[in-house]
Structure formats: structure tokens, C-alpha cells
Structure 1
Amino acid sequence: MKIVASELKNILLITLGSALLAFGVTAFLLPAQIATGGTPGMSIIIHYVTNVGVSLAMLMVNIPLIIAGIKFITPAFAARTIFSVSMTSLFIEIYPNLFIFPTISDMLLSTLYGGICIGVGVGFILKGQASAGGTTIIAKIISNYTSIKPAQAILVLDVIIICATAFIYKDMELALWSLMSIYVSAKVIDKILSGSVSEKVVHIVSKHSQEIGVKISEDLGRKGTILSGHSLTLQTPKEVLFVVVGSREIEKLKAIINQHDEQALVIVMEASEMMGSSLLT
């Protein structure tokens, strides 16, 4: 039953993500002739070169890539990806028949909102344990036979798409708008996958870590962990207080630390993702 519920959740995420991805392409990028990264960008370019519909171009690009790279991915992932590509193509095909999209003359608006829609859509698709297209598989194949990492391969493919945009449209501005669209999408995807965590991870090296920890617990209501260590050169014992606080609590935390030890070493880092809550209560 758990497996069925999990798969239904994946299907829902993929369907919603495909709808948003298709909306971003159809409503914003396609009318402005702006490309994006991955196979959606390749499909837009193919559409303008051959006049083949974007939905058909997506299928023509993706299905062979998925079949070619089947040994690099699991059958379940391949099936979900085919479903994702099919749904995206379907939505791209039916949207113009369902809605009359207003013409947006501002390129910045088209780029930003197109990038946001595509970013959210791809983020949902990835959360649904699928891929939005075949460039991920191309990257896996390249990394399997070369020393190039998948992320680097995807970046190279996106650069090729941007260069193709500049060459085909003979318009450098469109290529730059496309680059901005890819950047916006990437940032949104990262936000979707990492969540909206606004916590900070703080490491405090101090001789008064016990007192600081007690004060943090009393004033901020946060718990933490004291780690034992030693100096790298002198081998003297050290205590490191590890605590997670909210972004708005950082200044209060600094004040607490300064009250007890002005010489304390404090390192503050972003917590991009967190699981569990034992340190936050």
C-alpha cells in the first residue's frame, strides 16, 4: 500500500510539474523566441528551424535518448521520464486550444516568468523521481565514458543550446535572454529541491561553550551539541558547540556569545536542507 501511495504521489508531482513546464514554454518563452536549457530548449530550436510542433519535437528528441540510455537508469525512472515527457508534450499541444495567451512585449517579464514556471515544473518532476528530458541521460552517458561529471556535461549541453540560439536566430540578445532564463530556472529548481529552509548552522569554538550553550537554550529555546576536539598544532583540548538557529536569531546569538567570550571563533553556514528536529526544540 505504501508503494502505491508513493507512486501516486510521484505521478501527481510529475503531472503538475509537466503542466507548469509546458505553461512556461507555451505562454512565455515560445512567443518571445526564448530558448531554455535541456530538451525543452532543443525542441524550441527545432521548432523554429523545421516548423515541427514543439510537442512533437520534444518526443522526437527525448524518446530515442531515453531508449539509448536505458542501461544507465532504472526501468521505473525511465517509465516516469517517458510519462513526464509525454505529459509535457500533451500540455504544450492542448494549451493553445484551451487558452488565448496575451502577448507580452516585455522580454524581461517573459524571461523571468518563463524561467520561474519551468523551474517549478522541473523541480516537481524531479521530486516525482523522474526527469524532464533526455539531457540528463546524455550527461550520464558522457560521464560514463569520459572524466566529465554529469553536472559539467549538462552545463556544456546548455551552452551549446545557447550558442545554437544565437546562430539560428542571428540575434545575440535572444541568446542572452535565453541564458537568463536558464539561470532563473536553475535557481528555482534548487529552491524547490532544497526547500525553503532559513536556518543557520553555527559552530562555536570557545572555552565557555557550556555557559554559552545554557544561555542559548534559555534565551533562544534552542538545543545543541558539544563536540570534543583538539588543537591541530598544540594538541590542546577544544570544545565546539554545534547549534542550529533561525536566520533572525543570528544577531541575538552573537550577543550571547560576546557576553561570555569575545574571543570565541564563530562559523555560520547555510542549512540548505534539514531532516529531523532534535536540535531545533
Structure 2
Amino acid sequence: MGFSFKRFWLINLGIIIMSAGLYYFLIPADLAVGGVTGLAMVINKLVPVIPIGILMLIANVILFIIAFLVIGKDFGGYTIYSSILLSSVIYLFEITTPLEKPLIDDIMINLIYGIIIQGIGMAIIFYQNASTGGTDIVAKIINRFTHIEIGKSLLMADFLIIILAIFTFGPRLALYALLGIGINALVIDKVIAGFNTKMKVVIISEKSDEINDYIINEIKRGTTLYYADGGYTKTKKTIVSTVVNKRQYIKIKKFAQVTDPKIFINVSFVQEVLGEGFWNGTC
């Protein structure tokens, strides 16, 4: 994907959102919901003198080389940056807003809010072809070679952490954590599906040439033209078909309605688009 300010900004936003879900909800409730974070919580429980943020940083180094070799330097570089920033933000939270107990004394509320907030942050990061290291790297490798959705891949990678949590925090918390990684997988896949959603627009108009030129030259999207006969009018019709995002569709709709007040537009949502002009990555 390469570097862009938008990508960099979105990765940072995802890290901050994820850190908030972890630190303010999951960590104080001892919910080791997989990943290096869950592993760090297990170790921290056994060796409290070592901060969770430092444990996360150390554990991530083990998988960085794999990320570079298997997935590539772009993913590996952003993964290093993201993991360092995640550890740093959590460590900053530990210094500025130390917590001796959960904000809310209800494990289910901590689990649900923590997982949803964390999952949204992780989805943003994954969608930018990056990760926060640890089992996220394992999940990305599974996703790359099997094309299993990234959330489900993460569920597979995190299952071992839950087994360790059973012996550290007991079966009750571990079962909550198991529920957590299941919800996490669902949230990540749903959020990414939302990012990937595009709109297939089919336009029937007497001004199809003008509309087609606008889509190609102004919106910078390709089109497909179909030639058909009107079932009611028995006249020749030119149908313009294209796939765009929501903002592009709004522009096309406004232009088309001004150009031809009698226009007919049919819109449907598509979950995945591959090919020229669209990202061919997997998530």
C-alpha cells in the first residue's frame, strides 16, 4: 500500500481506540482476551513487577522477523510502529491514569465495551494492512494464505492464550475471555466488511453519454455500457453500470438528476470488489 498521511493517521487513530478499550476495560478486569496483550497479562499476573506495556514490547519482537519475511517490509514496518505505539500508549495510561480496580465493577460490561472498542481499533489497523504484532501477525499469515476472514484468523491464533488464561485466572475469567475473542472476531470482520462495502450503480438515461463521461473523467471510475430495448417503450436504451463508494455515488446521483430529471437509477451494495482501481489485499 505504501506510505500516505491518511493511512498513517488512521493507524494512529486505531491504536488510540484499541488502547482505550484494553486499558480502561479489559486489563483491569483481568480479561486476557488473547494476543500478546493476553499473554502479557498472564505473565504480569505471575510476575507483577514487570509492567504489561514492557512485556508486550518484548513479546512482539519475537514475531517481527516473521512479519518481514512472510508478509513483507511494508506490513512489517507498520507492525513494528503500531506495536511500539500501542505499548507506549498503554504505558502512558498506566502513568497518567493508574487504575487499582476496574472503572465499573461488572465483568460483562467490561468485556462487552472493551471488546467492541478494541475490535473497532483493530479493524482500522488491519484494514490499513498493518497489525499490532503478536498473534495479529499469525492471524495475518493465516488470512493471507487461506483467505479466512481476519477476525476468524485471529480467533484461531488467540485460542492458545485462552488455554493459558484458564490456568492463570481460573476457568470463569477464561470462559469470559473465550466469549470475548469470539465477539472480537465478529466486530473486526463486520467493521472491515463495512469499509469494503461498495455500491453498484446502474443508470438508465437518455443522457447516458454525458453521465458516462462524468463518471470516467470526474469521478475517475470505470464504467460498463449495456445496450437494451425498453420493455414498455420499445425504444433503444444505453445502460451505464459502475461500482463506487458512497461519497462518489452521491456526486453521481446529483449530477445525473440535474442532467436528466427522468433518470432511472438502481443501486445495490457489494461486499467485495477486486480489480483495477480497487485494493486487491485480503482482510
> Which TM-score applies when normalising by structure 1?
0.64
Aligned-residue Cα RMSD (Å) equals 4.0
- Matched residues in 2 for 1:188 and 1:147: separation? 20
CA contact (8 A) 2:155 2:181 kept: no
Map 1:113-262; keep pairs closer than 5 Å.
113-138=113-138, 154-170=154-170, 172-195=171-194, 197=197, 244-245=267-268
Partner of 2:204: none
CA contact (8 A) 2:68 2:75 kept: no
Residue-pair matches, total: 218
Partner of 2:55: 57
- Matched residues in 2 for 1:110 and 1:87: separation? 23
Partner of 2:76: 78
Runs of 4+ in 1 over 4 A off after TM superposition: 139-144, 146-154, 196-200, 222-225
- Matched residues in 1 for 2:186 and 2:199: separation? 18
CA contact (8 A) 1:139 1:150 kept: no
- Matched residues in 1 for 2:87 and 2:81: separation? 10
Q: What amino acid does structure 1 have at the position aligned with 2:32?
A: A
Q: Secondary structure at the match of 2:132?
A: coil
Q: What amino acid does structure 1 have at the position aligned with 2:178?
A: L
Deviation at 1:34, TM superposition (A): 0.4
2:51 corresponds to 1:88: no
Task: Report percent identity of matched pairs.
Answer: 31
Change beyond 3 A, Cα 1:224–1:135: same
Deviation at 1:211, TM superposition (A): 5.4
- Matched residues in 2 for 1:10 and 1:184: separation? 26
Partner of 2:36: 39
Q: Secondary structure at the match of 1:32?
A: coil
Structure 1 runs not aligned, ≥5 long: 201-209, 215-221, 226-242, 246-269, 276-281
- Matched residues in 1 for 2:143 and 2:190: separation? 26
Deviation at 1:108, TM superposition (A): 1.0
> Which TM-score applies when normalising by structure 2?
0.63
2:21 corresponds to 1:24: yes
Structure 2 runs not aligned, ≥5 long: 201-229, 243-265, 275-283
